[in-house]
């Protein structure tokens, strides 16, 4: 039973196997309807078995156990009966995912390759996650992914017991969420004329228009689909920087006294645009309107508002921005950014939500109720946790999956740091210098996949897998806190078997020995990549 992520405990009972056949049943109480529906649909499609309803104590049975934590579960497999006990609906979904693993790679196919020989191995399994936030960021702003690809990515997260999809919906290069009161955000802001080739400003463009957006019904579907699989979708609406697409659509949002914002288009460079929001009350009202619709679409506790990489040059040159700083009694432009973040922190809190932002929101003073995504290493997360703020650890040096996986000439996109599969497996989210009280504020960890050079689901697959499998075990399992003590050879052994699961799911992962022939490209869609990595 080489399970991934590794469970808390697993004991094989070789004389207690449970063969499945056309008479095998599946039952669950009403409170576990999502898990029952998912498990029946998935296993019936793969095995051809009907898995109709049955009686308690027989077949495959899901039950609630109030003694377990919400995401914890136990599986007991004996002849004629597989009992999946869970502390709550989420735990039942994770138990169902583990049961699918026990049936082997063919259980991950959408149509049966065989109708006989399905056997659940006799076993006793007890399991619970280490972190409550086990996330992956998908950047659909730089390169838009169709809804079907996002739904597929949700399935891949759930299969590895990752429970947060951080959906990066807006940036300088595109706005991807329909806002009905501001149709220009997608009418104008969702499309750019071309994309930059390489990293350096001034390099040639590909002259290929790029764009797309999700309707509100698309996003409701994504959210509901994810929830039924135990995954929460956390939206990101970036502000006050990374907003050129919004300013291009509504020029009055920019710093009009220092730049002709009416002439701006959606940005065709990578990196960080100098065009940021102004800090007027009118701009605050505009984004309150945006967020009112975002809150209706996304029921998540947290709403990510970016807050990162906000150039201050336009504010320094803007008489209106300087007057605003004086009016508010602020010391400088950093405090002006903090004022904007604090405003939306209060606004979200009044509506029962919580703001989370990149660690730059620490600059100028951290908003009282805000949580931090620590991406520039561990420092911001350490400072936030020691100050009593919740933290999601996602340092670029360790878990940015757009970064290259090896340093050889075969790697198609030489982005950022080299981070191997083993590097990701040895990542420890909780810094050793945190005491016990501060460490409790590390509510989880997240791997981020930025899409400047991932313009298709195939590119996402290559960058994410199999490193996301290693990350999933880091986020779920109770591994040794000292990275050097982790049994990477055992993980690698289990992973080699798990690659058959990825094959069955149609994931075009990077093989452990290096890229496949089609993956050995000089750049995305054949475009050469040159220069240093982007800032983020």
DSSP-assigned letter for residue 7: P
Cα-based angle 250, 251, 253 (whole degrees, multiple of 5): 80
Q: For 27-63, b where at least 16 C-beta lie within 10 A, e where not — what string?
A: bbeeebebbbebbbebbeebbebebeeeeeeebbbbb
By three-state DSSP, how is residue 63 classified?
strand
The token pair that represents 394 in the structure block: 């996602």
Residue 396 among the catalytic residues = no
The token pair that represents 493 in the structure block: 């052994």
C-alpha distance from residue 40 to each of 30, 47, 53, 475 (Å): 14, 10, 10, 27
User: HEC profile for 105-125?
Assistant: HHHHCCCCCCCCCCEECCEEE
By three-state DSSP, how is residue 210 classified?
strand
Which residue in the list 171, 218, 360, 473 is annotated as catalytic? 171
What is the distance between the alpha carbons of residues 306 and 402, in angstroms, rounded to a whole number?
Answer: 19
* Helix-helix angle 216-227:281-297, to 10 degrees: 50
Which residue in the list 160, 242, 339, 398 is annotated as catalytic? 242
Q: Which of 235, 232, 222, 326 is nearest to 279 (CA)?
A: 326
Q: Give the total residue count for the chain.
A: 536
Which residue in the list 127, 172, 218, 309 is annotated as catalytic? 309
C-alpha distance from residue 495 to each of 53, 55, 130, 421 (Å): 34, 37, 20, 11
- Intra-chain end-to-end CA distance of the chain, in Å: 39
Q: Which of 534, 527, 516 is nearest to 410 (CA)?
A: 516
* Contacts with 60 (C-beta within 8 Å, 6 or more apart), sequence order: 24, 25, 26, 27, 39, 51, 82, 84, 99
Q: Is the peptide bond before 454 cis (omega within 30 degrees of 0)?
A: no
What is the distance between the alpha carbons of residues 91 and 83, in angstroms, rounded to a whole number?
Answer: 13
Residue 309 among the catalytic residues = yes
The token pair that represents 363 in the structure block: 């600059």
Q: Which of 179, 189, 173, 247 is nearest to 219 (CA)?
A: 179
Residue 171 among the catalytic residues = yes
What is the distance between the alpha carbons of residues 19 and 38, in angstroms, rounded to a whole number?
Answer: 21
What is the distance between the alpha carbons of residues 109 and 67, in angstroms, rounded to a whole number?
Answer: 34
Please identify every residue annotated as catalytic: 171, 242, 309
């Amino acid at each position: 039973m080489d399970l991934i992520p590794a469970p808390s405990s697993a004991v094989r009972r070789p004389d207690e196997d449970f063969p499945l056949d056309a008479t095998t049943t599946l039952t669950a109480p009403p409170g576990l309807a999502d898990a029952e529906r998912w498990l029946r649909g998935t296993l019936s499609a793969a095995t051809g078995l009907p898995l109709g309803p049955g009686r308690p104590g027989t077949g495959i049975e899901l039950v609630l156990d109030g003694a377990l934590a919400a995401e914890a579960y136990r599986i007991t497999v004996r002849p004629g009966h597989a009992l999946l006990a869970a502390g709550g609906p989420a735990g039942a979904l994770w138990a169902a995912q583990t049961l699918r693993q026990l049936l082997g790679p063919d259980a991950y196919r959408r149509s049966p390759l065989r109708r006989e020989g399905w056997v659940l191995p006799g076993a006793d399994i007890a399991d619970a996650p280490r972190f409550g936030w086990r996330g992956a960021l998908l950047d659909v702003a730089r390169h838009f992914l169709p809804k079907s690809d996002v739904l597929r990515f949700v399935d891949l997260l759930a299969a590895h017991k990752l429970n947060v999809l951080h959906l990066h919906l807006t940036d300088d290069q595109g706005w991807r969420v329909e806002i009905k009161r501001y149709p220009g955000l997608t009418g104008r802001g969702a499309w750019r004329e071309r994309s930059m080739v390489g990293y350096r400003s001034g390099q040639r463009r590909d002259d290929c228009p790029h764009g797309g957006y999700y309707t509100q019904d698309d996003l409701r579907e994504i959210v509901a689909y994810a929830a039924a699989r135990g995954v929460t979708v956390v939206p990101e609406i970036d502000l006050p920087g990374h907003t050129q697409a919004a300013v291009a659509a509504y020029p009055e949002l920019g710093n009009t006294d220092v730049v002709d914002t009416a002439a701006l288009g959606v940005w065709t460079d990578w990196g960080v645009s100098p065009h940021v929001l102004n800090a007027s009350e009118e701009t605050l009202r505009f984004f309150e309107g945006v967020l009112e619709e975002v809150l209706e679409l996304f029921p998540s506790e947290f709403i990510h508002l970016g807050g990162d990489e906000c150039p201050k040059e336009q504010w320094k040159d803007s008489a209106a921005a300087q007057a605003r700083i004086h009016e508010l009694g602020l010391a400088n432009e950093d405090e002006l950014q903090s004022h904007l973040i604090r405003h939306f922190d209060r606004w979200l809190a009044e509506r029962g939500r919580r703001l989370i932002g990149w660690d730059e929101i620490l600059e100028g003073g951290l908003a009282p109720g805000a949580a931090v995504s620590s991406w520039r290493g561990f420092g911001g997360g350490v400072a936030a946790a020691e100050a009593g703020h919740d933290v999601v650890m996602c340092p670029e040096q360790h878990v940015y999956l757009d970064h290259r996986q090896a340093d050889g000439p075969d790697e198609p996109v030489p982005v950022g740091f080299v981070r191997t599969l083993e590097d990701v497996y040895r990542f420890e989210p909780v810094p050793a210098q945190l005491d016990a009280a501060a460490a409790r504020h590390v509510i989880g960890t997240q791997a981020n996949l930025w899409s400047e050079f991932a313009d298709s689901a195939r590119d996402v697959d290559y960058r994410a897998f199999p490193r996301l499998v290693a990350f999933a075990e880091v986020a779920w399992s109770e591994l040794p806190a000292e990275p050097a003590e982790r049994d990477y050879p055992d993980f690698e052994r289990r992973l080699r078997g798990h690659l058959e699961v990825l094959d069955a799911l149609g994931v075009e992962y990077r093989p452990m020995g290096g890229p496949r022939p089609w993956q050995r490209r000089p750049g995305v869609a054949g475009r050469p990549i040159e220069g240093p990595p982007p800032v983020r």
